[in-house]
Amino acid sequence: MKRITVFTLVVGADLVALAAVIAWYLAAYQHSSGSLGGVMGQMMGAGSTSGLTSAMPEGVWLAIVALVALAVAGFVGLGYFLTYPEIRSGPALQSVAPGVEPKAGPGMSWAILMRTSKPEEKKVLEMLAAHQGSYLQKFVVKEAGLSRLKTHRIVSRLAERRVVSVEKSGNTNQVSLAPWVKDDAVKSAAGP
């Protein structure tokens, strides 16, 4: 089951449970003091305080606080997974399409890639080429001068286009150029 589905189910179940606890509280409170209108009248000074004899049922506040905390956690998790795209990780990609190797000629794949990339993507690609085609994502963030979120999104887009591959490395990612472009990129970064 996908994590976004889990968070959606948690939020939905939590909101239903929260509504049930609040309904339980209102029913218990109304039952113990006659009616909610009578309680409001007593609070405003219209009646005597003798009718308000019982306190809130035990456990209601604890249940409400726990359910509100669960709802907040569910909304935060749901927001996180909707905001941040996942980076697909795995072994280095062998070609642009399975079994098909680009045939543009020496150096052409890198040149075409650089012409068709956005400026921030070019920064990341040039950084990878300058470091022999592979670099830790946290160092790409520092050297490219981009935010962590921006770098994450760029790497995610490049991974979806199969330009880079991503492998988990400790608390960061090892980002590597795909083999079909790596040699041209490294040669281009080394100069003529």
Digit-by-digit pLDDT tens for the chain (192 residues) are 577 787 788 888 888 888 887 787 777 766 655 555 555 555 565 555 455 445 666 777 777 788 888 888 878 877 877 777 666 555 544 444 454 544 444 456 788 888 888 999 999 999 999 999 999 999 999 998 999 999 999 999 999 988 999 999 899 999 999 998 888 888 887 776
Q: Which of 143, 145, 150 shows the shortest CA–CA distance to 129?
A: 143
Look at the chain and report how many structural domains it folds into.
2
**Where residue 117 sits, what CATH number does that domain have?**
1.10.10.10
Nearest to 64 by CA among 101, 17, 107, 111: 17
Compute the C-alpha angle 75/79/80, nearest 5°.
120
Domain extent at residue 73? 3-83
**Longest CA span, the chain:** 94
Kindly report the pTM of this predicted structure. 0.49
Does residue 112 share a domain with residue 152? yes
